[in-house]
């Protein structure tokens, strides 16, 4: 039973660039959420996708956008990267909307220089 | 507003000692969920427990136990007879209305042999 997978594992970008992170949910799950975890802090909820639409959003600027594909996989896009965007980006999946039964992936470590 | 406070940044114990991780939460809602997650060095968050606000029963699962007290807004986590494999960062989290999840800053637990 495949768990949540994310790619790439690590990424280095320069300020002002754009980045795309990818997530494949656990088998049987149809909902994907994204979190940002800065060093030494807890994860912060970015948004959740269900039925290919953004359903819920945390307190993040419009530079953060996403997409969900018909196979339930998802992308997180961040435009105009700032140094403060350096973090571990975690993807979590669940069946149906909501956050109560999430399975997390190993994350993508983004470094902005 | 919802908030989770984990006052203990780091804890170090010797194997076989008992250790309690503290979690204090804030919310004005009467319906909410509390969680504990473990984050090993590999990065993914591992779900440990979920409690809803109407269930104050303490729970024991093997060497793990949880003490939920609404009167003090606390949801503490105890590991009995700690083992080296328990070394990780532990996060307490709060979800209100299944729309958002707020994590504490985490407690880094180191269990020395």
pLDDT in tens, chain A (113 residues): 679 999 999 999 999 999 999 999 999 999 999 999 999 999 999 999 999 999 989 999 999 999 999 999 999 999 999 999 999 999 999 998 777 889 999 999 999 99
Tens digits of per-residue pLDDT, B24-34? 999 999 999 99
Cβ of B42 and A106 within 8 Å?
Answer: yes
**What is the DSSP-derived secondary structure letter of residue A113?**
-
CB of B100 less than 8 A from some CB of A? yes
- Give the mean pLDDT of chain B: 94
Q: Give the distance from residue A44's alpha carbon to the nearest chain B alpha carbon, in angstroms.
A: 7
The confidence score (pLDDT) of residue A100 equals 80
The residue with tokens 């606390």 is: B74
Closest by CA position to A43, among listed B31, B43, B15, B27: B43
The confidence score (pLDDT) of residue A1 equals 64
Q: Residue A111 in contact with residue A86, Cβ under 8 Å?
A: yes
Cβ of B45 and A56 within 8 Å?
Answer: no
CB of B57 less than 8 A from some CB of A? no
Q: Residue B33 in contact with residue A100, Cβ under 8 Å?
A: yes
Closest by CA position to B37, among listed B109, B110, B103, B111: B103
Q: Give the distance from residue B38's alpha carbon to the nearest chain A alpha carbon, in angstroms.
A: 11
CA pair distance A45, B40, nearest whole angstrom: 20
Q: Residue B21 in contact with residue B10, Cβ under 8 Å?
A: no
Cβ-based neighbours of A106, under 8 Å, separated by 6 or more: A5, A6, A9, B42, B43, B44
CA pair distance B13, B50, nearest whole angstrom: 26
| Phi/psi of residue B28, nearest 5 degrees | -95, -10
Can the peptide bond before residue A55 be classed as cis, meaning omega within 30 degrees of 0? no
The confidence score (pLDDT) of residue B57 equals 83
The confidence score (pLDDT) of residue B94 equals 95
pLDDT greater than 80 at residue B23? yes
Q: Give the distance from residue B76's alpha carbon to the nearest chain A alpha carbon, in angstroms.
A: 17
pLDDT greater than 70 at residue B18? yes
The confidence score (pLDDT) of residue A96 equals 84
Query: Which residues in B32-42 are b (16+ Cβ under 10 Å) and which e?
Result: bbbbbbbbeee
């Amino acid at each position: 039973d495949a768990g949540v997978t994310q790619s790439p594992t690590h990424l280095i970008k320069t300020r002002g660039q754009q980045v795309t992170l990818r997530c494949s949910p656990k088998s049987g799950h149809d909902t994907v959420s994204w979190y940002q975890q800065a060093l030494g802090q807890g994860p912060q909820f970015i948004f959740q996708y269900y039925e290919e639409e953004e359903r819920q959003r945390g307190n993040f600027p419009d530079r953060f956008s996403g997409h969900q594909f018909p196979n339930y996989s998802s992308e997180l896009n961040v435009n105009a990267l700032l140094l403060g965007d350096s973090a571990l980006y975690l993807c979590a999946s669940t069946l149906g909307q909501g956050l109560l039964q999430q399975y997390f992936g190993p994350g993508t470590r983004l470094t902005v220089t | 507003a919802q908030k989770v406070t984990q006052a203990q940044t780091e804890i170090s114990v010797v194997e076989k000692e008992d250790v309690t991780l503290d979690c204090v939460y804030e919310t004005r809602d009467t319906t909410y969920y509390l969680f504990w997650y473990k984050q090993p060095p590999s990065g993914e968050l591992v779900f440990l427990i979920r409690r809803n606000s109407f269930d104050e029963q303490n729970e024991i699962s093997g060497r793990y136990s949880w003490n939920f007290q609404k009167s003090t807004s606390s949801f503490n986590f105890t590991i009995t007879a700690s083992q080296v494999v328990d070394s990780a960062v532990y996060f307490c989290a709060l979800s209100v209305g299944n729309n958002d999840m707020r994590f504490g800053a985490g407690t880094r637990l180191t269990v020395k042999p």
